[in-house]
Amino acid sequence: MFAPTTEIPRGNAAGFRTYFRRDITSGFLVFLIALPLCLGISLASGYPSLAGVFTAIIGAALATALSNSELTIKGPAAGLIVIVLGAVEEFGGRGFMAAGGPTAADWQAYKMALAVTVVAGVLQILFGLFRAGILGEFFPTSTVHGMLAAIGVIIMAKQFPVALGESNKGEPLELLLKFPQFVLEANPAIALIGMTSLAIMFLWPSLRRRLGPIGAIPSQLVVLLVSVPMASAFDLLHQHSYTFWGSTFELSDQFLVKMPERMFGMFAELTAPDFGALALPAAWKWVMLFFLIGSLESMLSAKAVDLLDPWKRKTNLNRDLVAVGIANTTCGLVGGLPMISEIVRSRANIDNGARTRFANMWHGVFLLICVALIPTWLHRVPLAALAAMLVYTGTRLAHPTEFINLYRIGREQLVIFCATIVGVLATDLLIGVGIGIAVKLFIHTINGVPLKSLFKPFLEVEPQDESTCVIRAYRSAVFTNWIPFRRQIEDLGLVQRQNIILDLAQTRYVDHSTMEKLHELQEDFEHEGLRLDIIGLDDHRPMTEHAASARKRVLPRMRRITIVAEARHEDLIRERSLELGTSNLTIIPCYGTSRPLQDDGLGDAERLVRVELVVPSRSAESALMSLRRDLTPACRALVCAEMVEVVNAELFEQPMLRPAAGVIRPAAATAEALETAAV
């Protein structure tokens, strides 16, 4: 990373000239990462290899002009592989990575999927124009992470066989169970390329610091520099067979990326969609999936890049959604994959020193030059190497740290996360996400969220002064009522330029998604020179110590301090206790022993006094220190404290009606009761 300058770079004509060197350098370095990923994502999605390159070029051209997102890289993403491949298979295709090359059915399915992309792009444009991008805020965080983790598992299941030279036909769970079989039946030459590439992807990040300047080379480029010579050594360009451990294996260019055979041949690959697919009911399911998942991933990535931006520039998500929609419509019309704002390449863009959106443009220019002028060289790239890159990407999406992070936020979040993963793997993306949302709603009802407030926030607005407004929330603040909740805060705060005090004291439950998004909103307010103060959570118990953990309102927790001493010290104890400012004091006469145990058991019973006072948790420590300093030296006393939950805690926060001495005494006790009282 680099230190930001005081001047905020802008993606305008002046910014183009001022930051030309930095942006073109970053664009070239991102191009080195993007090229193999575009090829791999295309083939894994069941599209021709150049489809992803078309997408990256179109995104670089249109998004640069239409979006105000300065540092995001637009292009195909691994997170959409499952959706695109699912559409191709729904329309009767096998994908362009299938053995024997693409058939007429594969081409037809590809064209039908392009029509789905066009319609999904139009929906994105409409939603952006009508400022409906906020709908992406509806989906709970744990469900989104569960969906992405499930996509990661599916990518690994589909691409691991390819890295071994095997067929990847079958459902994800079926493929996962067949992993041992894939290893035993692997083509040794192809498996060597795939496993070497996979080892580089995993080991290179940890070796970078030790390798000095060489470590700056992207791991994807290192994979190409190693795998292409290996493919040449195995002579994959020509069909032949070899024997290994008594078994015969075939090698040919079917294990290499299919590319045009001549310069500028990429333009012959442009393909028009088949809009006849829209007559099929199944097509509209994929339209919604392309639209919903693509839009959600794109907005989440754009927001994540904003947090990484050294100058904290904010993306207009509605404008960005329009830009992505226009680019996706164009991609569908010419044969490209769906596009999103891509987080991995965007992070690399920032790390490489990019300043403006023109870095995205330059990465597209270099892609265009490469595939237009040297397509025959790209034909030498082995599919196993690209599959290894995607397996690595899948492990990043479904990394074990995701499970650990969700557990730290709350066990209920881990349950939702795992339910979504299982739901997606067992059914499909749409149903799996629905299962995750249903589990979260069930957990909310268990935690006492009123049904009336599940989809409607109950808010009360009260102006405090000319520059500050108080918003009081009632019943619940959860992901299902977050959108109108957020709009109210933004309208009063960011639009009307007021500081906001959000009082959550009367809510029964505040979920993790809302807590996380409130923290993001606080940063937006701070960026605009305003304040969003969140109060009223003192009586809410967090599920874990995590700052964004869900919070459930419980009885207020206070400290009960108990003092036991000889009865003759009652006046002293009362005096010291009242000096602490407590409003409630209970004195209970009792019998017991205040002396150490004798050799033959307890000593003689004597008259004791038991004094109880309840104090707020925030003042308990100072009260205990005061008693230890002023009371225990004067008399033998046992002082202890415990946490208790208190009904009507406000009675202990302020003076109340009590006897003149400031003491609440129990009803007169009989001698028998006194003798049996616990010490």
Instruction: Round to whole Å and give the CA distance between 408 and 402.
Output: 10
The answer to whether the pTM exceeds 0.85 is no
CB 533 within 8 A of CB 499: yes
Instruction: Round to whole Å and give the CA distance between 343 and 240.
Output: 41
Place of tokens 């290899």: 49
Domain range 451-553, CATH class: alpha beta
State yes or no: pLDDT of 445 exceeds 60: yes
pLDDT interval class at 653 (50, 70, 90): low
Residue 419 C-beta-side C-alpha neighbours within 13 Å: 20
Residue 658 pLDDT: 38
pLDDT interval class at 615 (50, 70, 90): confident
> What residues have CB less than 8 Å from 49, skipping those under 6 apart?
39, 42, 43, 96, 257, 258, 259, 378
At residue 462, what is the residue type? E
Tell the burial category of 396 from Cβ atoms under 10 Å away from its Cβ (0-12, 13-18, 19+).
middle
Q: What is the pLDDT of residues 339-369, one digit of tens each?
A: 999 888 998 999 899 999 999 999 999 999 9
CA 189 vs CA 192, 227, 579, 591: distances in Å: 5, 11, 84, 88
Residue 659 pLDDT: 37
Residue 269 C-beta-side C-alpha neighbours within 13 Å: 25
CB 384 within 8 A of CB 194: yes
Place of tokens 């118990």: 541
State yes or no: pLDDT of 475 exceeds 60: yes
675 versus 18: the higher-pLDDT residue is 18
> Please, what is the average pLDDT of the chain?
88
Q: Is 57 helix (H, G, I), strand (E, B) or coil?
A: helix
pLDDT interval class at 135 (50, 70, 90): confident
539 versus 530: the higher-pLDDT residue is 530
CA torsion sign, 200 to 206 to 211 to 215?
A: positive
pLDDT interval class at 582 (50, 70, 90): low
Q: What is the pLDDT of residues 281-330, one digit of tens each?
A: 999 999 999 999 999 889 888 888 887 889 888 888 899 999 999 999 99
State yes or no: pLDDT of 677 exceeds 50: no
Domain boundaries, the chain: 13-398, 405-446, 451-553, 557-676
CB 48 within 8 A of CB 95: no
Token code pair at residue 107: 């081409």
State yes or no: pLDDT of 678 exceeds 80: no
> What residues have CB less than 8 Å from 515, skipping those under 6 apart?
547, 548, 549, 550, 551
CB 220 within 8 A of CB 32: yes
CA torsion sign, 253 to 256 to 257 to 260?
A: negative
> What residues have CB less than 8 Å from 52, skipping those under 6 apart?
37, 38, 39, 40, 41, 42, 45, 75, 76, 336, 337
> What residues have CB less than 8 Å from 624, skipping those under 6 apart?
561, 639, 641
Residue 639 pLDDT: 87
575 versus 322: the higher-pLDDT residue is 322
Residue 668 pLDDT: 40
Residue 387 pLDDT: 95
Residue 250 pLDDT: 93
pLDDT interval class at 252 (50, 70, 90): very high
Token code pair at residue 153: 């598992």
Question: What is the spatial order of strands in the sheet that 606-616 belongs to?
Answer: 585-592, 606-616, 557-566, 637-645
Instruction: Round to whole Å and give the CA distance between 163 and 70.
Output: 36
Average pLDDT of the segment spanning 390-401? 92
CB 552 within 8 A of CB 522: no
State yes or no: pLDDT of 17 exceeds 50: yes
Q: What is the pLDDT of residues 428-440, one digit of tens each?
A: 888 999 999 999 9
Average pLDDT of the segment spanning 31-47? 95
Tell the burial category of 446 from Cβ atoms under 10 Å away from its Cβ (0-12, 13-18, 19+).
exposed
What separation, in Å, do the N-terminal and C-terminal C-alpha atoms of the chain show? 64
CB 586 within 8 A of CB 561: no
Average pLDDT of the segment spanning 533-559? 88
- CB count within 10 Å of CB 95 equals 21
State yes or no: pLDDT of 669 exceeds 50: no
pLDDT interval class at 580 (50, 70, 90): confident
Residue 660 pLDDT: 35
Residue 656 pLDDT: 38
Residue 434 pLDDT: 93
Residue 670 pLDDT: 37
Helical spans, DSSP H, in 59-187: 64-66, 81-90, 104-129, 141-163, 172-177, 179-184
Average pLDDT of the segment spanning 52-65? 94
The CB-based long-range contact list for 432-441 (8 Å cut-off, 24+ gap) reads: 432/146, 432/147, 432/150, 433/139, 433/143, 433/147, 436/140, 436/142, 436/143, 436/146, 436/147, 437/139, 437/140, 437/143, 439/415, 440/140, 440/142, 440/143, 440/416, 440/479, 440/511, 441/480
Burial 118-134 (b: 16+ CB within 10 A, else e): bbbbbbbbebbeeebbb
Average pLDDT of the segment spanning 88-108? 90
Instruction: Round to whole Å and give the CA distance between 457 and 446.
Output: 19
pLDDT interval class at 650 (50, 70, 90): low
State yes or no: pLDDT of 618 exceeds 60: yes
What's 651's DSSP letter? Answer: G
> What residues have CB less than 8 Å from 350, skipping those under 6 apart?
1, 71, 305, 308, 309, 310
CA torsion sign, 347 to 350 to 355 to 361?
A: negative
- Helix (H) or strand (E) segment spanning residue 244: strand 240-244
Token code pair at residue 14: 């002046």
Residue 675 pLDDT: 35
Residue 599 pLDDT: 53
Place of tokens 């404008």: 319
> What residues have CB less than 8 Å from 229, skipping those under 6 apart?
none
Q: Residues of the chain with pLDDT > 70: what percent?
A: 92
CB 290 within 8 A of CB 117: yes
State yes or no: pLDDT of 674 exceeds 50: no
Residue 638 pLDDT: 86
Which architecture, in CATH terms, is 557-676? 2-Layer Sandwich (3.30)
